[in-house]
Structure 1
Amino acid sequence: MKALLALEDGRTFKCRSFTGSGEAQGEVVFNTGMSGYQEVLTDPSYRGQMVTMTYPLIGNYGINDEDVESNRIQVAAFLLRQYQPYPSNFTSLRSLADYLQSQGVLGVHDFDTRALTRHIRSKGAMRAMISTRDLDPESLAAKARAIPSMAGSDLVTGVTTDRPYRWVDGKVEAVTENEWQQPKIWRHRGDKHCVVAFDYGIKYNILRCLEGLGCEVFVVPASTTADEVKAMNPDGVFLSNGPGDPEPLKYAVKNIQPLIGYKPLFGICLGNQLLGLALGGKTYKMKFGHRGINQPVKYLPTGAIEITSQNHGFSVDFDSLPKGEAMVTHINLNDNTVEGIRHNKLPVFSVQYHPEASPGPHDAHYLFKEFVGLMK
């Protein structure tokens, strides 16, 4: 089925839908990973974005029920060079097209994704519309320009959990109202470290990593207050990844600030940006962001190089961090942007990249062990 992709600057790409009729809107970004499209689709950090995969052949290993990072597809649309309709993998239960169609997500292919990627790298990530119904370039570009900008928008409210839950044996376990009101009922079952994790769009593999290191994990909504966290008396606090601009999340920053120094605190991705704001720093929107499983990062204290998995379009401003209170621990070797920060005196640290990978290299898994070590 014929489709048209129109960017806000008027650039258009003729393409074809492999999921049927439909329209989609959002910010167009690109991911440089050669694999892991199922994890990309279900990563809440992609909320509000249409993802272009730079690897040309997608769909070849199908979809299974294990390799998901949330309970639904999060991307606004999926843009490919060539869709592979016949998956070949012993774990595959359905095709990529069937998976997208089951949740009403538009998938398009048969166009020059390399040209689109080069355009974004030159001009920056931008708003766009895809349609199988409106194939008029001027009309579709006008619709793209009318889409609200990601900068200044709170996208976390659309992905955070409505109610607290436990993560037990690799699955979500509901928490009753009585348990939520009386934390002593549920916490410290056995000798596990209790971690309260703020859900700004948390990936399941983060929870898997924490549980795998012997932690009892309790996930709470993004709006949970510092007093509610302290009432649970956890051993550590975790700030999760999530979508969009951290600046509008004033409530999150307000809740994080009283927890700095309370107990060991660890943040990832959006959690890194929110910690930077809570420490008094600033953030900014990057030109086209970092998205892929091959990003080189330098750990400044030792000079060690890590190959990392990343997905973010905003960054902490290096010069805005308060001198003498916080230090930059990691930088991106492609553009020298901040990839990690740490408090100089308190057990508080965070990284911009994803040490839980999924997909991606495991170079940075040591950070979870460091967090657990601080709770002992």
Structure 2
Amino acid sequence: MSARPDTSTHNTIRNPRPALLVLEDGTTFRGRSFGAEGETFGEAVFATGMTGYQETLTDPSYRGQVVVATAPHIGNTGWNDEDDESRQVWVAGLVVRDIARMPSNWRSRRSLPDELTAQGVVGITDVDTRALTRHLRERGSMRVGISTTATDPAALRAQVLQQPSMAGRDLVDDVTVTAAEVIPAVGEHRFTVAAIDLGIKSRTPYRMAERGITTHVLPATTSFAELQAIGADGVFFSNGPGDPATTDGPRDLLRQVLEAQIPYFGICFGNQVFGRALGFGTFKLKYGHRGINQPVMDLTTRKVEITAHNHGFAVDAPIGEAVDTPYGVATVSHVCLNDDVVEGLELRRDGKLAAFSVQYHPEAAAGPHDASYLFDRFVQLMSGEAS
């Protein structure tokens, strides 16, 4: 994304208009607009990170979702040209309690409202986000509309009710690359990885590159023959948006990868697709996990790590049981300590690790860094040193 003029010394909300937010159950909040004017619709979800809003907004996994920030003050560090996780903002809308009047950070190039305006994203501020978050925790994530033009909640709600539910939505085609992209290894080349882009974040291939991995980022529609032509030492499936139950193509591709016994690592959506490839089901969580402060236990080491999450679906697999599959023995490797949701899977052949995945973001954008060891585990898997 090209740099825009520095607006960091100016008030970021100029002549704000009233804005209206209506949930599908009729719950209504009024506030002021920031960012683009107009109307937007999506699934209302809340994210608990105190920092990292730029990485959140540019995470393709948020395609089709209106993000409610639980941190009360958003926008204070503005917007820079280094922290984008993809080519654009993907959220359908942003809801905050208090938008910063002026950004203040040495890397800031413009304000958050200015960036949202440039990208056509509607935001609403002066909303009681605590009350809204509590409502979503009680009732679950639901469809929502935000408008800077409508004044009648009933009319806006009627539009909300016409929107599709996140359950059953296939959004991967919206975010995947259309042609292969190659991110070279930093320093000595050690391995080649085929990364299937289901909504990949830019920090992920960077984490691989710093470990000597050349990453070929491939479209979600890539065939097994095309994948084989790369001569990959390992295969990676990324995070992404939508309902994993709709992704039969990636699931079938992954089954071919497992049959060929190519080392596999997946994160987030890649964990859900891995679960489906192994024969497990998936289900929609009531309100999901979103934020950079989620506690997870690695059952293989018994260590607890604080992790970054963004998922509204989870794998339905038995915890503490070994399950025979056509590709080896599958077990749950990680669990969330808040609610026992499956946060990782591993596959073993003849007692040795053959493939694994986690439900969260070890690339640590915008943090924390507790789970970065998983990239080292992938290197060990490809080198034949994983136990």
- Letter paired with 1:323: V
CA distance in 2 between counterparts of 1:259 and 1:169 reads 23
Uncovered stretches (5+) of structure 1, i.e. residues with no partner:
171-188
Higher alpha-carbon deviation: 321-330 or 360-369: 321-330
Question: C-alpha displacement at 1:190, in angstroms?
Answer: 6.5
Conservation of the 8 A alpha-carbon contact between 1:281 and 1:322: no
Q: Who is 1:319 aligned against?
A: 318
Residue 291 of structure 1 pairs with residue 290 of structure 2: yes
The 1:142–1:227 alpha-carbon spacing in structure 2 relative to 1, beyond 3 Å, is same
Q: Distance in 2 between matches of 1:50 and 1:85?
A: 22
Q: Is the aligned partner of 1:106 residue 2:122?
A: yes
Identify which range, 365-374 or 312-321, moves more after superposition: 312-321
- What does residue 344 of structure 1 align with? 348
Is the 8 Å Cα contact of residues 288 and 313 (structure 1) preserved in structure 2?
Answer: yes
One of 71, 76, 79 as aligned partner of 1:55: 71
Q: Say what the alpha-carbon RMSD is for the aligned residues.
A: 1.5
The answer to whether residue 168 in structure 2 is matched with residue 152 in structure 1 is yes
- Return structure 1 stretches of 4+ with deviation > 6 angstroms: none
User: Residues 75-120 of structure 1: CA distance to partner in whole angstroms, max 9, x if unpaired?
Assistant: 0011100000311111000000110011100111001000100000
Residues 303-357 of structure 1 deviation map (CA, whole Å, 9 limit, x = unaligned): 2111100000000002399723200010000000000000022510000011112
Mapping of residues 33-72 of structure 1, within 5 Å:
33-72=49-88
**Which residue in the other structure is 1:174 paired with?**
none
Q: Does 2:352 match 1:354?
A: no
Q: Distance in 2 between matches of 1:191 and 1:68?
A: 26
TM-score, normalised to structure 2, is: 0.90
Verify: 1:240 aligned to 2:238, yes or no. Answer: yes
Q: Higher mean Cα deviation, 43-52 or 356-365? A: 356-365
Cα drift, residue 142 of structure 1? 1.3
Q: Which amino acid aligns with 1:226?
A: F
When the two structures are aligned, how many residues end up with a matched partner? 358
CA contact (8 A) 2:245 2:282 kept: yes
Question: Alignment partner for residue 45 of structure 2, among 29, 33, 41?
Answer: 29
Matched residue SS, 1:120? helix
Q: 1:20 to 1:199 in 2, by over 3 A?
A: closer
Return the alpha-carbon distance in structure 2 between the equivalents of residues 220 and 349 of structure 1: 20
Q: Distance in 2 between matches of 1:341 and 1:232?
A: 26
Equivalent residue runs for 1:65-214 within 5 Å:
65-168=81-184, 191-214=189-212
Query: What's the CA shift for 1:213?
Result: 0.7
* 1:223 pairs with 2:230: no
C-alpha contact 1:280 1:322 (8 A) present in aligned 2:
no
Secondary structure in 2 matching 1:347: strand
Whichever residue aligns with residue 357 of structure 1, its letter is A
1:375 corresponds to which residue? Answer: 382
Q: For residues 180-222 of structure 1, what are the alpha-carbon distances to aligned partners after superposition, in whole Å with 9 as ceiling and x for unaligned?
A: xxxxxxxxx9643100100000001111100111100111000
User: Residues 60 and 236 of structure 1: is their aligned pair in 2 closer, same or farther, counting only changes over 3 Å?
Assistant: same
Question: Which residue identity does 1:311 align to in structure 2?
Answer: N
Q: Which residue of 1 aligns with 2:252?
A: 254
Residue 20 of structure 2 corresponds to 4
Q: TM-score, normalised by structure 1?
A: 0.93
SS at match of 2:344: strand
C-alpha deviations, 1:27-76, integer Å up to 9, x for none? 00000000000000100000000001100001101110100100100000
Q: Which secondary structure does the structure 2 equivalent of 1:65 belong to? A: coil
Q: Does 1:364 align with 2:371?
A: yes
Partner of 2:304: 305
Structure 1 residues 20 and 310, CA, compared in 2 at 3 Å: closer, same or farther? closer
Q: Distance in 2 between matches of 1:341 and 1:365?
A: 17
Distance 2:270 2:137 in 1: 25
Distance in 1 (alpha carbons) for counterparts of 2:58 and 2:66: 12
What secondary structure is seen at the aligned counterpart in 1 of 2:130?
helix
Alpha carbons 2:62, 2:241 under 8 Å: kept: yes
Question: Which residue number corresponds to residue 335 of structure 1?
Answer: 339
- One-letter code of the match for 1:326? A
Per the alignment, residue 265 of structure 1 pairs with: 264
